[in-house]
């Protein structure tokens, strides 16, 4: 068994909750707290037998939790802004983070004050606001919504078998919302 192997944990209603080590997923299944939805080709060897290692598990009891939030990182700010400078619209150049209201003037380090900017625009704006620098933002910065695809999408390159559970959750959720109307 490889130590790096991960498993996707689904809530009772198949909503993606978390990613845990495959060993932890195996223990949850073994103790009856979860059931295997998808197995991987790797296995864990016991004394007299071999057990398939879970890749996706579903909890037997529903877990209530607060809505997740997307973490504030450079990578996530660039992803939110589509790898484009929010002043000139350029892409494919080296990007930097820019505080719309500079920090030395009371600006905060949060989603609503950070944008992606190319080096030239960031240098041109300097320690001023966009209005003072005669620059306009392409769109106002805001906190992105935390969808399962956004939260677990980075794992899909390595664990392609998770795709129906991560991307498919959006389809199930929207169908359920429309059915309730």
Residues 76 and 136 in one domain: yes
Those residues with Cβ within 8 angstroms of residue 17's Cβ, 6 or more apart along the chain or in another chain = 9, 10, 11, 59, 63, 65
Tens digit of each residue's pLDDT (9 = 90 or more) over 110-148: 999 999 999 999 999 999 999 999 999 999 999 988 888
Element of type H or E holding 96: strand 95-99
Q: Within this chain, do residues 130 and 170 fall inside the same structural domain, yes or no?
A: no
Q: Is residue 1 part of a domain?
A: no
Q: Are residues 62 and 74 in the same domain?
A: no
State the pLDDT confidence band at 175, using cuts at 50, 70 and 90.
Answer: very low
The total of structural domains in the chain comes to 2
As a whole-number percent, the residues of the chain with pLDDT over 70 amount to 91
- pLDDT at position 3 is 55
- Looking at the predicted structure, is the pLDDT value of residue 180 above 80? no
Q: Write out the residue range of the structural domain in which residue 79 sits.
A: 69-144
Q: What is the CATH number of the domain that holds 126?
A: 1.10.30.50
């Amino acid at each position: 068994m490889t130590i790096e192997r991960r498993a996707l944990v689904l809530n009772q209603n198949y909503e993606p909750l978390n990613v845990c080590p495959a060993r932890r997923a195996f223990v949850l299944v073994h103790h009856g707290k979860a059931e295997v939805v998808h197995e991987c080709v790797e296995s864990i060897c016991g004394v007299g037998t071999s057990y398939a290692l879970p890749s996706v598990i579903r909890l037997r009891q529903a877990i209530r939790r607060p809505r997740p939030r997307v973490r504030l990182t450079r990578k996530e700010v660039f992803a939110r802004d589509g790898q484009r400078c929010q002043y000139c619209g350029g892409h494919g150049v080296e990007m930097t983070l820019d505080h719309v209201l500079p920090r030395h003037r009371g600006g905060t380090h949060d989603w609503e004050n950070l944008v992606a900017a190319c080096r030239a625009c960031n240098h041109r704006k300097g320690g001023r606001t966009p209005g003072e620098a005669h620059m306009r933002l392409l769109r106002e910065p805001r906190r992105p919504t935390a969808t399962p695809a956004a939260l677990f999408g980075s794992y899909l390159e390595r664990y392609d078998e998770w795709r129906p559970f991560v991307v498919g959750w959006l389809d199930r959720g929207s169908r359920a919302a429309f059915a309730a109307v």
